[in-house]
Amino acid sequence: MEADKLSPKFIKQVDKYIITEKMLGKGSFGSVFFGYYALDQNIQVAIKQIPMQDLTKSQMDILTREIKTMKAVVHKNIVRLYEAFKTKNSLYIMMEYCNGGNLENYIKKLGGTIPEKDALIILKKIVLGFSQLYQHNIIHRDIKPENILLHD
């Protein structure tokens, strides 16, 4: 099956990755799209696309540190960075795709509260992820439900 006939719709290929039209989110620097590895559609990724024209040197320094930090930490409770590419027009950050959306939307979907059993499971995984960050002397300065991603 050809990539452009898939749903969601194929937009373009960057190195070994296909970027689709499905937007997963928008942040202060750019947008995050659903994508997949070109040779195996089962390897799904989240691709952060950041327009180079919008970046100041200071912002580029921040992103460079973020990439370096994400590469240094590999843990099952922390979103994994696979690769980062810079083209003439954009910076692309290929990350692990989390199919459950974010914690904020999950709480809203449940009517504003989470059953205690589920809350304890989620909290334990958050603590384990933060423990790994602590071991690498990393401080996450923007922890909030919309920045906690859920998978399976």
Q: How far apart are CA 80 and CA 84, in angstroms?
A: 12
What is the pTM for the complete model shown? 0.84
Give the residue extent of every domain in the chain. Answer: 1-97, 100-152
Q: How far apart are CA 6 and CA 79, in angstroms?
A: 26
Specify the fold of 1-97.
Phosphorylase Kinase; domain 1 (3.30.200)
CA R_g for the chain: 16
Average pLDDT, the chain: 90
Q: Where are the alpha helices (DSSP H) in 30-141?
A: 57-72, 103-109, 116-135
Indicate if 142 belongs to the active site: yes
Whether the predicted pLDDT of 28 surpasses 90: no
Cβ–Cβ < 8 Å for 38, 54: no
Task: Name the token pair of 39.
Answer: 């040779």
pLDDT band at 36 (very low <50, low <70, confident <90, very high): very high
Task: Name the token pair of 13.
Answer: 């290929």
Of the residues 4, 40, 142, 152, only one is catalytic, namely: 142
Q: Can you give the pLDDT at residue 8?
A: 74
Whether the predicted pLDDT of 6 surpasses 60: no
pLDDT tens sequence across 54-101: 789 998 998 898 899 889 899 999 999 999 999 999 999 999 999 999
Whether the predicted pLDDT of 139 surpasses 90: no
